[in-house]
Structure 1
Amino acid sequence: MDLYESYIQHDRQRELVKLAGKLANTFSARAERFDREDAFPFENYSDLKNSGYVSLSVPKEYGGEEISLYEFVMLQERLATGDAATALSIGWHLGSLMELTESRPWKEEVFKSICTKIVNDKALINRAATEPATGSPTRGGLPETNAVKTEKGWVLNGRKTFTSMAKALDYSLVSARLECTKEKGFFLVDHSLEGVSIDETWDTIAMKGTGSDDLVLEDVPLPSSALVERDSNGNDKGGELPKAWLLHIPACYIGVAIAARNEAIQFAKEYSPNSLPGPIKDVPEVQRKIGEIELELFKARQILYSVADKWDKEPEKRVSMAAELASVKHIVTNSAFHIVDTAMRIVGARSLFRSNPMQRYYRDVRAGLHNPPMDDMVISMLARQALGE
């Protein structure tokens, strides 16, 4: 069964899924090697650049495809079936551009310039907002990274953690306090500047290939134009709209679940112990587990795609969709974890062999529970909404 045909709405989406599928198949063949060697997947990023994937969320007026949220989650889900770490990382790049395209908080000439570099030079960008002392910026902590005004612009000092694809980035959007005040801004930082370096701190068993090392900023000189966003309230910019582009996170993890589901079904069709007359796919308990997987997958994908579709087609409702978007992340990532766990029960002890992709899916899907928004924040948001606060 084609898992995408029922969700594809027109030919453009069919072509986009084909593109993501071709990349996913290529990435899948490399995934075990990169995972086993703790290597950063530079080859994957070369393929993403050469295919034009990196410019898909750039506005059409600046040479991109300006994909919709629905198309974004579909692409990311399919890409993650091949390599979840690469998919999650490039999702930050595409999603950041999608937010900027929708809200246009920058001066237009600066935005046009970065879009042109992405389209023509295949530049990569990500937000760098997490810090050792504050943890996730979604918790509301002010950054300790500090920007000091000078005659020529600004000087930036600080350290950012969880900077996905740090070694491959050309630019970062760095959050910083403005001269030790409570006012926060985002600076567009070129990684080729003096004082910008990467500290390879990423030592994890899950999502190894994101290469989410520390971005270190030591007396980085920036022009005045580098301050692209300001927020005196200490909150991330982007207007009053919730950050719908963060649906790339659950899309990635349900992609991992689909990969595990496919692996388990293939195993059930092929594995035939001599204690049985045929393969284990005929065993009622195996069929029950596969049925559970299909049901959980259907539930998660219906929620993911329906909310993304609502965002695209009913823009007047976007301002009130924060709870829905957060709920999607909670439901889908937890469903993905359950699907992978059930798939491993079908495969059995073989799923724990390093040569079996199941153990990588298990480690990677667990990371989704720690991406924003975290489960406790979602539950608290829903409770406050129900209580009318």
Structure 2
Amino acid sequence: MSTTFTPSDHLPDALLERIRSRAAQVDRDNVFPEHDLIELREAGYLRILVPEERGGAGLSLEQASVLQQRLATAAPATALAVNMHLVWTAVALILHNRGDDSLLFLQDEAARGEVFAFGISEPGNDLMLFGSDTQAAPTGDGGYAFTGTKIFTSLSPVWTRLGVHGLDSASEDRDMIVFAFIERSEAITARDDWDTIGMRGTQSRTTDLAGAVAAADRVVRRVDPGPGPDAMQFAIFAAFTLLIASVYTGLAERAIALAGEAARARISKKSGLTRAEDPVVRSRVGAMVITHDALPLQLSALSRDIDAGVDHGARWFSLLSGMKDRAVTAAQKVVDDAVIVAGGGAFRNGSELARLSRDVRAGIFHPTSPDAARQTAAASVLG
């Protein structure tokens, strides 16, 4: 990471506090944080991973991870929503760093203000990137028409570009997975069905595609189904898992800060001391800090390896899925302990810790699942 990188230059303290001040109302109203997106766009945040020569800030994935941790301390749902845009700009950067410029158009469009969303997840499709139930029908001019259902489509109310994949069963003697980018049209319907216990501001609605067309110059990959992986599939997996882990790491950091505030504010009737002076409370908070401290260091190391093009071979998938699983598991433990330290006030809906305790539960639903992460790790040893 560059020694000149200062997180507050890209995510100023004042902006962070305004985002934090809106988070509770966004959650309560179950709406998309439009004002957050407006301010983040004006601050250049959506361009942080676009190279300087193409109109962006020219940051690395490692630096973006730090910023996403910082944003998540203010509003985890906003950070998670923006994550999906940053995943695609990270993919473009990772490929570019490896000599593949097939997504230069994405960098240019992101620099101009387009908002990219992630249309990969499908109901019941545990193959994720390596298979699809969405039909990708050739249009005859190099483009494709996509028909199917995508779920957990964050940024649903505001995206202008949707990265999707589908199965082409018609154009050759074997099936192919097609990756492409589509624009909003009448062939796309976003259901108003995002009613969840947490991460409500992401507005990750179900998206129905009914022949949504990607032009030939927006079809970016045709690969064989099943594990490969193609370089872009790897880049998507790496960017997604590391940036997801960054959000939950930031969430855990905020929970520790709130626990500290609560402990210093509460005074025991028995001893007359604050809970911050109680050795039991100190032990619990100390364990929370130790649990969290490992996560930024791991994220930094893995992100730096991606930035540098380090080749961990087949181990990459267990390293990346393990990072996501550790971050989510640790964040859940930290938040649960923070609630214990804060006491009954954390059970009230108006409590920020109550919101964090709901938001953190979303972590297990992001690919890869805890069970899949363990299977991947086991395979790296047992075959």
TM-score with structure 2 setting the length: 0.90
16, 19, 37: which one aligns with 1:45: 37
The Cα RMSD (Å) is 2.5
* Cα distance change on mapping 1:157 and 1:74 into 2, 3 Å: same
Residue from 22, 37, 61 that aligns with 1:30: 22
Separation of aligned partners in 2, 1:331 and 1:301:
11
C-alpha contact (below 8 Å) 2:103/2:220 kept by paired residues: no
Indicate yes or no: 2:166 matched with 1:176: yes
Confirm whether residue 126 of structure 1 aligns to residue 117 of structure 2: yes
Cα distance in 2 for partners of 1:53, 1:68 equals 13
Aligned-pair CA distance for 1:13: 3.5
Assess, with a 3 A threshold, how the Cα gap between structure 1 residues 136 and 91 changes in structure 2: closer, same or farther. farther
Pair 1:145–1:214, CA change in 2 (3 A): farther
Find 2:155's aligned residue among 165, 172, 176: 165
Q: 2:80 aligns with which of 85, 88, 91?
A: 88
SS at match of 2:146: strand
Tell me how far 1:49 sits from its aligned partner.
0.6
Q: CA deviation at 1:10?
A: 1.5
The one of 130, 133, 136 aligned to 1:143: 133
Shift of 1:277: 1.5
SS in structure 2 of the partner of residue 11 of structure 1: coil
**For 2:65 and 2:151, how far apart are their aligned partners in 1?**
25
C-alpha distance in 1 between matches for 2:100 and 2:321: 30
Q: Report how many aligned residue pairs link the two structures.
A: 376
Kindly indicate whether residue 306 of structure 2 is the aligned counterpart of residue 337 of structure 1.
Answer: no
Deviations 1:226-285 (A, max 9, x none): 322211235574358463212011110011111111111011111224444232111111
Whichever residue aligns with residue 114 of structure 1, its letter is L
Query: How many angstroms apart in 1 are the aligned matches of 2:110 and 2:381?
Result: 43
Alpha-carbon distance change, 15 to 29 in structure 1, aligned in 2, over 3 angstroms: closer
- The residue aligned with 1:321 is 316
- CA change 1:67–1:362 in 2 (3 A) is same
Partner AA of 1:383 in structure 2? A
Q: Partner of 1:185 in structure 2?
A: 178
Residue 252 in 1 paired to residue 247 in 2? Answer: yes
Which of 74, 90, 97 is matched with 1:98 structurally? Answer: 90
Distance, in Å, in 1 between the alignment partners of 2:320 and 2:141 is: 43
Q: Deviations over 1:304-354 (max 9, x none)?
A: 223323433462446643222222112121111111011100011111101
Structure 2 residue matching 1:264: 3-state secondary structure: helix
Deviations 1:116-145 (A, max 9, x none): 23212x11102201122425615x442233
**SS of the residue aligned with 1:146?**
strand
1:261 to 249, 256, 265: 256
- Name the CA distance, whole Å, in 2 between partners of 1:233 and 1:95: 22
Q: Conserved in 2, the CA contact under 8 Å of 1:148 and 1:156? A: no
Kindly indicate whether the alpha-carbon contact (under 8 Å) linking 1:129 and 1:143 is maintained by their aligned counterparts in 2. Answer: no
SS class of match (1:173): strand
Matched, 1:293 2:252: no
Residue identity over aligned pairs, in percent, reads 23
Amino acid at match of 1:100: A
Deviates more, 1:63-72 or 1:332-341: 63-72
Maintained 8 Å contact 1:21/1:78: no
Alpha-carbon spacing, 1:317–1:71, altered in 2? closer, same or farther (3 Å): same
Are the aligned partners of 2:134 and 2:146 in contact in 1 as well (CA < 8 Å)?
A: no
> How far does the alpha carbon of each residue in 1:59-118 deviate from its partner, in whole angstroms, 9 at most, with x for none?
23311223222112111101000111111121121121111222259995x734332232
* Among candidates 48, 52, 57, match of residue 49 of structure 2: 57
SS at match of 2:151: strand
Change (3 A) 1:313 1:114: closer
The answer to whether the 8 A contact 1:159-1:217 is kept is: yes
Please tell me whether the aligned partners of residues 21 and 79 of structure 1 are also in contact (alpha carbons under 8 angstroms): no
Q: Offset of 1:222 from its aligned partner?
A: 4.0
Query: Which residue does 1:155 correspond to in 2?
Result: 145
Change (3 A) 1:179 1:240: closer
Aligned to 2:65: 73
1:130-169: per-residue Cα shift (whole Å, max 9, x none)?
Answer: 122425615x442233324245843332221110111110
Unaligned ranges ≥5, structure 2? none
d(CA) in 2 for partners of 1:289, 1:210: 31
Distance in 1, Cα, partners of 2:109 & 2:292: 38
Q: Distance in 2 between matches of 1:182 and 1:102?
A: 27
Aligned pair 1:228/2:220, yes or no? yes
